Structures are given as C-alpha cells and as structure tokens.
Chains A and B, each alone.
Chain A
C-alpha cells in the first residue's frame, strides 16, 4: 500500500517533468518550423535542456527510494525495472492489482474516446493553445494511473 502510494506520487511528478520536456520540445519544433518557412541565415534556435537534467536526477531519486522501500531480496535491477505499482506482498494484494488493472482497462476506453473527441476541435485551438495535443495525450496516463490508485486505495482498506 505504501509502495503503491509512493509510486503514484512519483508517477505524477514524472508526468509533470515529461510534460515540461515535451512543451520545450514543441517550442523548439515551432522555431524549426519558422526556420523552414524562411531558410535564409542567420538561424537562431533555442532549447531548454533543463527538463532532461531534472528527469535524470529524478530517475536517480526514484531508484534510490525504491531500493530502500522494496523488501530485501526484491531490490535487484530486475525488480527496479518493473512498475512498482505491481509489487504485492501476498495473494490478496495480487488480486487487488488484477482488479485495478481491469478498472484501468475500462477507464482507458472512456478517456481515449474523450481525448479523441476533443482532438477533433484542435484546429480551433491552434492559434491560442498549440500545446493542447501534448496536454491531452498526457491526460490519458494521468487518468489511468489515478484509476489504478483509487482502486488500490478502496480495495486494500
């Protein structure tokens, strides 16, 4: 339960950093598009590499925290590469994880349908909010991991 909560929190932070990185990448693509439209030198293109650095540091923190949180005997690279949410102490927790995965599957159909429907309105938002697709795509894992965590919280009480 504690591992699942920590894992959920880390997943939220990871999504935020990943989103930040994608926004920076999008900004670079916009600059590249301007250069492509007007290829006469001089060209100037800037890219913020801070999200990559933060992501690297964050990965170190996650690996360290889980190497301490996981029980002895389950701290190998193999276990650290698995999703930490799937760690179960016994068969009941394993069953709860299976139920949570079922709920995530159902939530996937709802959220993907909703995101696809909103995406059809994207041309209206391009001038005001070009980052919309990135935000919408990131909304999918956000809803899915939240569904997973809510099920775990409810069933493991």
Chain B
C-alpha cells in the first residue's frame, strides 16, 4: 500500500481543446513529458505541476491529488 499521485491533465487538456504539444510548449517541456505525466509514468516537479495548473487556470490541488493507500 502506497500513496500515489493522480492527475487530471488528460481530462483538462481535452476539455480545453489543447494538444499535448501545445500544453508542452506552454509548460516549457517536451510532448513526451506531458504524455508520461498523463499516463502516470512520471511525477512532475512542483514547479512543472504549478506551470501545468497555470495553463488550465486552476489551483495545483485541482489538477494533482494524492490517493492514499493505493495498491
């Protein structure tokens, strides 16, 4: 049992009509990094998480959240 970071990046990106490439450009990273974050393969730094949240005009906790005791 461990804590996991969940994110709504894919959902919010689709809602805003952004491509991975566009979001990546806004956040200053590569498209592959956005894809990895969406799949949960990569945990972004606080700085990058804040940048992504900023693109969606949301608070950090509205985009990223911790699921406790995930198996």
Contacts and interface: CB of A to CB of B under 8 A. Distances in A.
A91 interface: yes
Contacts of A95: 42
Contacts of B44: 91-92
Q: Decide if the interface of chain A is mainly helix, strand, loop or mixed.
A: helix
B46 to A, nearest CB: 11
- Classify chain B: how many residues form its interface, as a range: 10 to 19
A5 B36 CA distance: 21
Interface string A67-98: 00000000000000000000001111101000
Ranked nearest first, the 9 interchain pairs of A and B with the lowest CB-CB distance are A90-B29, A92-B33, A89-B30, A92-B42, A90-B33, A90-B30, A91-B45, A92-B36, A91-B48
Interface of A: 89-93, 95, 156
Interface of B: 28-30, 32-33, 36, 42, 44-45, 48
22 contacts: A89-B29, A89-B30, A90-B28, A90-B29, A90-B30, A90-B33, A91-B29, A91-B33, A91-B44, A91-B45, A91-B48, A92-B29, A92-B30, A92-B32, A92-B33, A92-B36, A92-B42, A92-B44, A93-B30, A93-B33, A95-B42, A156-B32
